[in-house]
Structure 1
Amino acid sequence: MPEGAFNRAVRPALICIAAAASAVGCGGEGQRTLSIATGNTNGLYYPLGGGLASIWSRHVDGVNMKAETTAGSVTNLIQVAKGESEVGFTQADALAAALAGRGRFPEPMPLASLGKLYPNVVHLVTIRSTGIESVQDLRGRRVSVGPPGSGNAVTAWNVLEAMGIGESDFTVRQLNYAQMSNGLKDGTLDAGFIAGGLGMPAVVEIGVSRDMVLVPFSEDEIATIIRSEPAYSGFRVPPGVYRGVDQPVLTPTLWNLIVVHRAMEAGLAYDLTRTMLERREDLENISGVASFITPPSARDVGDFPLHAGARRYFDEVLEPAER
């Protein structure tokens, strides 16, 4: 990605603080008030984060957790590394950059994971009247890569760079999901990237009101993206999830993780991980993507560092062959 484009894509945005739910009010005596950095209100990070905040506040002794709306992964990683938030959601590609000290991150960030969550599907969305049928058709068009400070923007640029498309090849827009949806509907935008769980509300909304097209990637394009960014893989969006998507659509995907500062107390990291996994059915009531959050899947963080407290939990509940 061009350095200037990357810096614009991930410049921290202003952070708005929001309560997750009425259950996450002011902490009582002896309670610590902690925060989880999520995303904007049109994505999945925010409702899942609100649900987790409520679960942790009710079931972890001495913890009063609140959810924060943020610009997304990059902002979340910076806040957790600085101690401004105790917990944060992130995409795998942004976490890899943070740990390596690449791009927006001037040095390696002191982060560790509590576990893997669910896969993010890269939705390249357009309206049929634009005539856009492939990622190469984005040249010369008005395309949103996502808001500054978001993992969405990191993902969009990773995919575009792998496809040989630079910022000079199209008109760059940096819109949040609501702005992107409105732009597609009123014709001021030709296409946009939305990276999120299957059934993203923002994508559903576009499909309901317009003749939406989910732009497919070829097998060769997926292979090229994986060579450039090994954190990605291919995923076929099944028919029926979005209106107008009647055939499987191949697109890139990558996983989301939940992260904390490396120095978090092991006991707290253990309690947060245990409670999240034991109460995951509560999260499934918020979004079906929470069905991916099982102990074997959550433990499988690959080369990312797993916090010692989380490792202790997984060692207790998993057979050696599952670890």
Structure 2
Amino acid sequence: MKNKKFLFLSVISIMLLMLLAACGGKEDTSNTNEGSTKGDNKETTSDIKFLSMVTGGTQGTYYALGGTFAELISNETGIKTTAEVSQASAANVNALKAGDAEIAFVQTDIAYYAKNGLLMFEGEPMEDLVAIGALYPETVHLVTTAKSGIKSFEDLKGKKVSVGAPGSGTYANAEQLLEIHGLTMKDIQAQNLDFGESTDGLQTGQIDAAFITAGYPTAAVEALSAQADVVVVPVDSEKAKALIEKYPYYTEDVIPAGNYGLAEDVPTVSVLAMLAVKKDLPENVAYGIAKAIYGNTDKIGHAKGAFIKKETALNGIGIEVHPGAQKYFDE
């Protein structure tokens, strides 16, 4: 009887040991895909679970592209990314610096100023600012209406002109273009308005002209053209060349006829739009951001999507590229 009882207990013990061994051999994989990227066909994990991308005003090109970019990045990296309304380039650099955002739309000229502590960043360089890549030309529009009678920069004297917020990219562009035409902010009645406020002001006659730096066609000017005869004041080639000689991050540009109801091409100048991050962003995350944007340009519905190419993503940036993004372009 004792032998039978001993045998029974032995069998039970063996079965319990086998059960424990089986349970212990299972690997917990419940969190392996959270915050991951798939660069190099190898899934790597990151502690980052959320990315904030600062763009611009709701009627500008940054915001129009931001939603698409956020979705592409979310899908590629598995990190939830959202596009936020902002005051654009200079404010976006400050948001990166303060840790309020991880990705920023920035003009290349503003990125250069920030990196080197110039103009609106005088004495406060952001040394850890790096690029993901260049996007498309940011065309400087000097917009007015036919009823204003303004046809040249010289006609701006004494007029109410929107120049963007002090310290913004648009403000710097306005100041430099006025300078090259022999004018200063003191020669105009400068108004610090955003794009939507500018075009509303033009429509109602509260202002006479507005500087708007954005990829064409930009929503604010398109909306104005539905209500008024839009005029974009040209920058002739001689003035453009003088501007570029002094400020080499500019390039000559043209707003083609048909945009905003224009009957003819309008010569002007542009800088570049780019995406910037901080250097301490994990390499695999920066790689995933670059891959999401430049590997899916066919999914960008905005007209500026045609300019966004991995072959030209490193042209004209002027600051260091994040190693993760550089890795993607090298491949």
**Interval of TM-score (by shorter of Structure 1 and Structure 2):** 0.7 to 0.9
1:97 matched to 2:113 = yes
Amino acid at match of 2:140: V
Counterpart in 2 of 1:164? 182
1:126 matched to 2:144 = yes
1:128-176 Cα shifts (integer Å, max 9, x gaps): 1221111121111000012345322222222222323212101010111
How far, CA to CA, are the matches of 1:290 and 1:150 in structure 2?
24
User: Equivalences for 1:16-35 in 2 at 5 Å?
Assistant: 32-35=49-52
User: Equivalences for 1:6-21 in 2 at 5 Å?
Assistant: none
1:178-234 Cα shifts (integer Å, max 9, x gaps): 211111111111000111111111111212211211111111111121122111111
- From 131, 144, 160, the equivalent of 2:162 is 144
User: Equivalences for 1:59-208 in 2 at 5 Å?
Assistant: 59-61=76-78, 63-105=79-121, 106-109=123-126, 110-148=128-166, 150-208=168-226
- 8 A Cα contact 1:31 1:64, kept in partner: no
Taking a change above 3 Å as real, the CA distance of residues 233 and 31 of structure 1, as seen in their structure-2 partners, is closer
Instruction: Give the CA deviation at 1:302.
Output: 4.5
Instruction: Give the CA deviation at 1:69.
Output: 0.6
Identity of aligned residues (%): 33
Aligned residues: 286
Amino acid at match of 2:57: N
3-state SS of paired residue (1:89): strand
3-state SS of paired residue (1:230): coil
Moved more, 270-279 or 158-167: 158-167
- From 246, 249, 252, the equivalent of 1:231 is 249
How far, CA to CA, are the matches of 2:160 and 2:202 in structure 1?
10
1:300 matched to 2:315 = yes
Instruction: Give the CA deviation at 1:31.
Output: 6.0
Q: TM-score, normalised by structure 2?
A: 0.82
Taking a change above 3 Å as real, the CA distance of residues 103 and 307 of structure 1, as seen in their structure-2 partners, is same
Taking a change above 3 Å as real, the CA distance of residues 308 and 31 of structure 1, as seen in their structure-2 partners, is closer
Counterpart in 1 of 2:285? 268
How far, CA to CA, are the matches of 1:213 and 1:278 in structure 2?
37
Amino acid at match of 1:313: Y
Larger Rg: 2
How far, CA to CA, are the matches of 2:48 and 2:285 in structure 1?
13
- 8 A Cα contact 2:163 2:211, kept in partner: yes
- 8 A Cα contact 2:249 2:316, kept in partner: no
Counterpart in 2 of 1:220? 238
Amino acid at match of 1:298: A
Report the RMSD for the aligned CA atoms in angstroms. Answer: 1.8
Amino acid at match of 1:50: G
Instruction: Give the CA deviation at 1:47.
Output: 2.1
Instruction: Give the CA deviation at 1:91.
Output: 0.7
- 8 A Cα contact 1:37 1:88, kept in partner: yes
- 8 A Cα contact 1:160 1:166, kept in partner: yes
Instruction: Give the CA deviation at 1:82.
Output: 2.5
Q: TM-score, normalised by structure 1?
A: 0.84
Instruction: Give the CA deviation at 1:311.
Output: 0.7
> Gaps (5+ residues) in structure 2?
1-34, 36-46
- 8 A Cα contact 1:83 1:261, kept in partner: no
Taking a change above 3 Å as real, the CA distance of residues 111 and 159 of structure 1, as seen in their structure-2 partners, is same
- 8 A Cα contact 1:120 1:256, kept in partner: yes
